[in-house]
Amino acid sequence: MEHGELAGKTIVLGLTGGIACYKSAELTRLLIKAGATVQVVMTEAATQFITPLTMQALSGRPVFTSQWDGRIDNNMAHIDLSREADAILIAPASTDFLAKLAHGMADDLLSTLCVARDCPLLVAPAMNRQMWAHPATQRNAATLRGDGVTILGPGSGEQACGEIGDGRMLEPEDLFEALAGFFQPKRLAGRRVLVTAGPTFEPIDPVRGLTNLSSGKMGFALARAAAQAGADVHLIAGPCALATPYGVTRSNVQTAQQMYDAVMADLSHGPHHDIFIAVAAVADWRVRDVARDKIKKAGDADVPTLEFVQNPDILAAVAQLPTPPYCVGFAAESGDLETHGAQKRKRKQVPLLVGNLGPATFGQDDNEVILFDEAGQQRLPRANKASLAQRLIAEIATRLPSRAPG
């Protein structure tokens, strides 16, 4: 979740009857924190699970529950509320409400709003697994998909009724991510993207090793932005404590050699990748002989000496494949980025290199970069890593060679 990511967006958040209503309180908080205006509308049943007062306090706006509400001057709440909305999200969406939506029924404020809307509708089903699996519910979900409604989840796992299966409402963070992604242009729809991120860890012995200060934030932000742009994203990450971005497939590795092997395995099997983005801060060297047992401290004068060997250069190796994906490299330099960046792009033979301005970007939330490509250099304004990642994905998308027909 990023501050300001949904600034200017108005979301009608509809709650229907279900125990998952408590999760919608947290979802409201996330939406508000991201800058959205949240207008909560609840069905009568939803008010049995969470009070309108709670939702009003979190959203900072009066909550609507009835089509007979006299607070709107023209008494047309169903028109006014949906006219302002950039999207309507129903979370939780009960079995009954899905059935009503599928049939275009409009017998309360929320269902009327959905029929009278002029904006996208997203629904997050929440119900017992048997109710979700019921043919009528499945039929209704299929009808809604056919009508262009986006169905988020449901997830699977432990349910409030004690059973285990499909039907749980997605977690608030996942619903937030799905909604934030929904608003992003689908510049990479149908494309396959491979991203490396984070540091690597090169062992010395079973308890010690060498690593660097890369937090993984920029690589994870790029994986997230690529997924939001509609791509199928595989993220190969060195050791870092970051949550996997929504909709991204992640593999964890430790060493540079493992990262190289994972990248090559992915590129040589399965369908062709369109883009490779190398954001990982890969260790250039590893210890030649990793001690099998912990190296013990002997006398004061007896300090160990480490001998290093070169690690494979993953980016350069990918760029030299017979039919390489579009390769994007990153460079963190301690000085003279203009010269080093242009040289590094040529040396690695990649079409695009992103140079970090300033050595202190590791672990920070924002970043300033220069793009190096065949045409020259372009400096992008300083931004937080999430919006910078979205900008970089847009820059990559415009440079991407168009697909060969067929």
Binding-site entries for CTP: 284, 294, 312-315, 330, 344, 348
H/E element holding 12?
strand 10-15
Of 87-95, 274-282, 357-365, 373-381, the segment contacting ligand CTP by CB under 6 A is 274-282
Residues between 292 and 311 with contacts to ligand CTP, criterion CB under 6 A: 311
Which residues are known to be catalytic?
161
Question: Which CB sits closer to ligand CTP, 163 or 284?
Answer: 284
Under 8 Å between Cβ of 315 and 345? no
Of 28-36, 66-74, 156-164, 278-286, the segment contacting ligand CTP by CB under 6 A is 278-286
By rule CB under 6 A, what string of x and - marks binding of each residue 194-223 to ligand CTP?
--x---------------------------
Least spacing, CB of residue 280 vs ligand CTP, in Å: 5
**Beta-bridge mates of residue 57:** none
- Residue 327, interface with ligand CTP (CB under 6 A)? no
Dihedral of CA 257/263/264/266: which sign? positive
How far apart CA 195 and CA 305 sit, in angstroms, is 35
Least spacing, CB of residue 376 vs ligand CTP, in Å: 19
Give the largest CA-CA distance in the chain: 88
Among 282, 371, 392, 397, binds ligand CTP (CB under 6 A): 282
Among 6, 89, 113, 280, binds ligand CTP (CB under 6 A): 280
Cα distances from 189 to residues 29, 232, 268, 365, in angstroms, run 30, 8, 22, 27
- Residue 180, interface with ligand CTP (CB under 6 A)? no
- Residue 371, interface with ligand CTP (CB under 6 A)? no
Under 8 Å between Cβ of 269 and 283? no
Question: Which CB sits closer to ligand CTP, 222 or 315?
Answer: 315
C-alpha of 163 from chain center: 29
- Which burial class, exposed, middle or buried, applies to 68 when counting CB atoms under 10 A from its CB (0-12, 13-18, 19+)? exposed
Beta-carbon contacts of residue 215 (< 8 Å; ≥ 6 apart)? 198, 240, 242, 362, 363
Question: Which CB sits closer to ligand CTP, 194 or 279?
Answer: 279
Of 130-138, 141-149, 277-285, 366-374, the segment contacting ligand CTP by CB under 6 A is 277-285
Among 331, 352, 370, 371, binds ligand CTP (CB under 6 A): 331
How far apart CA 207 and CA 224 sit, in angstroms, is 33
Question: Which CB sits closer to ligand CTP, 123 or 197?
Answer: 197
H/E element holding 366?
strand 366-367
Give, as one character, the DSSP assignment of residue 391: H
Question: Which CB sits closer to ligand CTP, 21 or 314?
Answer: 314
10 Å Cβ neighbour count for 404? 5
Least spacing, CB of residue 343 vs ligand CTP, in Å: 10
How many contiguous H segments (helices) and E segments (strands) does the chain have? 13, 21
- Residue 95, interface with ligand CTP (CB under 6 A)? no
Least spacing, CB of residue 209 vs ligand CTP, in Å: 16
Least spacing, CB of residue 282 vs ligand CTP, in Å: 4
- Residue 11, interface with ligand CTP (CB under 6 A)? no
Question: Which CB sits closer to ligand CTP, 311 or 390?
Answer: 311
The DSSP-derived string for 181-246 is HHTS--TTTT-EEEEEESB--EEEETTEEE-----SHHHHHHHHHHHHTT-EEEEEE-S---PPPT
Among 81, 114, 332, 369, binds ligand CTP (CB under 6 A): 332
Least spacing, CB of residue 194 vs ligand CTP, in Å: 12
Nearest residue to ligand CTP by CB is 314
Specify the residue for token string 């490779």.
276
The letter for the amino acid at 37 is: T
Which residues does the annotation place in the binding site?
284, 294, 312-315, 330, 344, 348
- Residue 373, interface with ligand CTP (CB under 6 A)? no
Alpha-carbon torsion angle 22, 23, 27, 28, nearest 10: 0
User: Total residues at the site for ligand CTP (CB under 6 A)?
Assistant: 15
Give me the residues that bind ligand CTP (CB under 6 A), please.
196, 256, 278-280, 282, 284, 311, 313-315, 329-332
